[in-house]
Structure 1
């Protein structure tokens, strides 16, 4: 992956400040990329109850106000010399419209603000961010309010367990995406892997005579060795390698806070069978991390 050429940023005009747009401006400036800003306006809940003529006037009024708001946000970026285009669309299904734009535009990265959704609401509905994590074909950069607009530290979170092939295509794609972002932002690049000893206890090892502690210790040593070997191949300095112990979500959140990571680059796997656990790690990190997530999808065959 070379320098970015096309960036797509999805903004929510209900928010007065867009961290995603600020991050996109930084990336566009550093890579001289074209930036397209998209705002989706959803019909109000009362839309089906309105008369057709009233619907047209209401829609036109919403769109006019939205275009003015979007121009107010994009205008300063254009004055800075950035190549910025913008568009407001009326979308009953923002998820489908965003995917359509991604397919047509083929952006190098899609940027969007993390939508703060309560745990109760997530129980009954699927947040738009989660839908995009599962379906968006392009790298998805979900930007939180914390961290620097211009990233200072970027971490590639890889899974180098022996049974999952340390030198896997997804691990390589994660490191490549993290390195590209780090180079364009002149940021530090870190490499991180989380090993959960409890996963050994929860697994089915009934055929082993060794104790749980011995087995967990052996697996930890093996995974650490695989991780360090992968870090050697990637040329990551010793002080930027992080082998963490504990549940991935909790340890990665704590790691990003302690080290001051602005962007955590992770893989995302479609939710099928046991792979749902991996997907949940990325999804739930959105609401706990102080910084941002860049989610990389495996190559489709």
Structure 2
């Protein structure tokens, strides 16, 4: 539960309606109810930047600093007002706020994701919560959104919030890779499932597990006439189901709540999430750099655009952000 004690909420400066902040308050109040002695710290944070202030050559550096500070102070007042209004709205739902502390900060930075990750690294946040939305597919490749940078480089779990409610007796979907024997994947499967159970306990929800497996490689079926595609598919399905059943039993999850289906991970996860009306999908993401990150992305990034619910992305144990050394 330690990851929930120090939460950074990324504020959307374009609106007064802050779904990420409300989700943080809701989550913190559920923690307070379940673990009364546990305190939760929430920091509302965003960065601003106006290039015109940097290009004002007729002003001295001190005058530019003063102008930037005036903008920061103005945004800080707006942020404090927004926090007050959104906190009041949550309080009206009888949320438990007894040990929840809320602070706010506005910084001047030209790259929002760098400001966010620097803040996380410096102040050791356990979770970052940010609102998200459907991205334009073309722009998502050419102009990488802050969400994608956070998924690749953020050292702590990232909760991306959409509009879906978290109802009582809702469904949480943990996306696994049970077909692999690699230690990193096995460890990440355990981490994802543990967090799913933790959140399900806090929110009185049900945990479902999903795993995809690849279909018959088309090139093999064409090049080797005697290749039995049906037998291959049956063997692949049996292997993944056996691994899934073993994993579910280890975590005391009903086999009726497991889903093993053929297809691409992003397609299978989206289909199962839609079928069970999941409020949250939890999955693992491994940071990528270079051409593969720009053109391909990873499962988490593909899934986020397709889902209509929140997504919690976890890194493998021992992950170190590439920004930690900068």
What's the TM-score, normalizing by structure 1?
Answer: 0.87
Distance apart, 1:107 and its partner CA: 2.0
Distance apart, 1:296 and its partner CA: 0.6
Distance apart, 1:3 and its partner CA: 7.3
Summarize deviations over 1:180-224 as a string: whole Å, max 9, x none.
1111222221111122315x4468997996323321221111111
User: In the aligned structure 1, how far is the partner of 2:278 from the partner of 2:151?
Assistant: 21
Unaligned runs of 5+ residues in structure 1 are none
Unaligned runs of 5+ residues in structure 2 are 33-39, 92-96, 320-326
User: In the aligned structure 2, how far is the partner of 1:197 from the partner of 1:222?
Assistant: 13
1:263 alignment partner in structure 2? 280
RMSD between aligned residues: 3.1
Distance apart, 1:122 and its partner CA: 1.7
CA 1:101/1:271 → structure 2, altered by over 3 Å: closer, same or farther? same
User: In the aligned structure 2, how far is the partner of 1:203 from the partner of 1:57?
Assistant: 67
> Does structure 1 retain, via aligned residues, the 8 Å contact 2:177–2:185?
no
After TM superposition, the structure 1 stretch with the greater mean CA deviation from structure 2, 75-84 or 113-122, is: 75-84
**Number of positions where the alignment pairs a residue of Structure 1 with one of Structure 2:** 299
CA 1:86/1:31 → structure 2, altered by over 3 Å: closer, same or farther? same
Confirm whether residue 248 of structure 1 aligns to residue 257 of structure 2. no
Pairing partner for 2:124 from 106, 112, 116: 106
User: In the aligned structure 2, how far is the partner of 1:227 from the partner of 1:69?
Assistant: 49
1:50 alignment partner in structure 2? 56
CA 1:281/1:205 → structure 2, altered by over 3 Å: closer, same or farther? farther
2:197 alignment partner in structure 1? 179
Distance apart, 1:65 and its partner CA: 3.0
User: In the aligned structure 1, how far is the partner of 2:78 from the partner of 2:220?
Assistant: 53
Summarize deviations over 1:243-275 as a string: whole Å, max 9, x none.
223221122112212211111000011227999
> Does structure 2 retain, via aligned residues, the 8 Å contact 1:133–1:268?
yes
User: In the aligned structure 2, how far is the partner of 1:174 from the partner of 1:203?
Assistant: 34
After TM superposition, the structure 1 stretch with the greater mean CA deviation from structure 2, 137-146 or 46-55, is: 46-55
1:156 alignment partner in structure 2? 174
SS of 2:306's equivalent in the other structure is: coil
After TM superposition, the structure 1 stretch with the greater mean CA deviation from structure 2, 203-212 or 143-152, is: 203-212
User: In the aligned structure 1, how far is the partner of 2:120 from the partner of 2:83?
Assistant: 20
Confirm whether residue 222 of structure 1 aligns to residue 231 of structure 2. no
2:163 alignment partner in structure 1? 145
Summarize deviations over 1:210-240 as a string: whole Å, max 9, x none.
3233212211111111111111111111332
User: In the aligned structure 2, how far is the partner of 1:22 from the partner of 1:101?
Assistant: 21
